[in-house]
Amino acid sequence: MAKIINGTEVAASVIDQVKSSASALQADTGVQTGLAVVIVGSDPASQAYVGSKSKMAKECGFKSVQHSLPEETTQQELLALVAELNADPTIHGILVQLPLPKHLDSEPVIQSILPEKDVDGLHVVNAGKLATGDIETGLISCTPAGSLILVRTIHGEDLSGLNAVVIGRSNLFGKPMGQLLLSRNATVTMAHSRTKDLAGVCARADILVAAVGRPEMVRGDWVKPGATVIDVGINRVPAPEKGDGKFKLVGDCDFLSCEAVAGAISPVPRGVGPMTIAMLMANTVIAAYRMAGKPVPKF
């Protein structure tokens, strides 16, 4: 049976480090780490995400600011708010909750955030730094950064000699995940929907990261015996066993069949999910340290 990688526990240790780092910065410089979260409209899932992020920021001792804008907010109004937050020296991190309502174009909004305040790690400057191997001066996208920490709990800092396969090539996750694994000396294969013999490619991986958005696509016979499996998928599927109209969350991996073969596996939920919000807090405190001209904490 595989070791279950408890993302909730690992995230809690990151949050403890964030709290102590934020407290130390404030004691040393008087600077309170500041995070601003912007949400447009009333999408229930987005509201829940934003609420949990704002709550965690307060728990970490941050100045936590939430801007809830009406559904009919214009592109110009949203860009004006981002510009205001860019200019605010008490705000070190800016997060615009996605997806935005359909009439808004998210890309210009994300790119208007100052790269040094882009705690989601989505600005082209931060993506470019990671792509060129600079993992020291940018801000790294939260879900890949959190996933790498889960890999490190099993394999340590240096992944030399290990084959890693990332299923999924999105700009949000797949590409930065591959680059992070490369930065730790893994030999990385980027697999996707057009990959020939995807199951065979996966079966050679010492580290298999699944981020395709298809429920339980990866089966146990895709997994190399003893491999580490990181399941990034969050899929809501019907759960008739719980009653009519009930749903459950599953990953991109069929957990039971993969668990029987893998050496370690992250579950869904309580795997990668808690790491994403922990790394958002870590990025915010990193941004605050940089703006204060202080040596940055390592996570």
Residues involved in catalysis: 53, 97, 120
Closest CA to 166 of 117, 131, 201: 201
Which candidate, 183, 145, 157, 152, places its Cα nearest to that of 277?
A: 145
Name the residue among 298, 223, 284 with its Cα closest to residue 253. 223
Instruction: Report the SS3 class of residue 164.
Output: strand
The length of the chain, given as a count of residues:
299
Q: Contact 289/25 with Cβ under 8 angstroms?
A: yes
Measured CA angle at 177 (ends 171, 182), to 5 deg: 125
- Exposed (0-12), middle (13-18) or buried (19+): which is 240, by Cβ within 10 Å? exposed
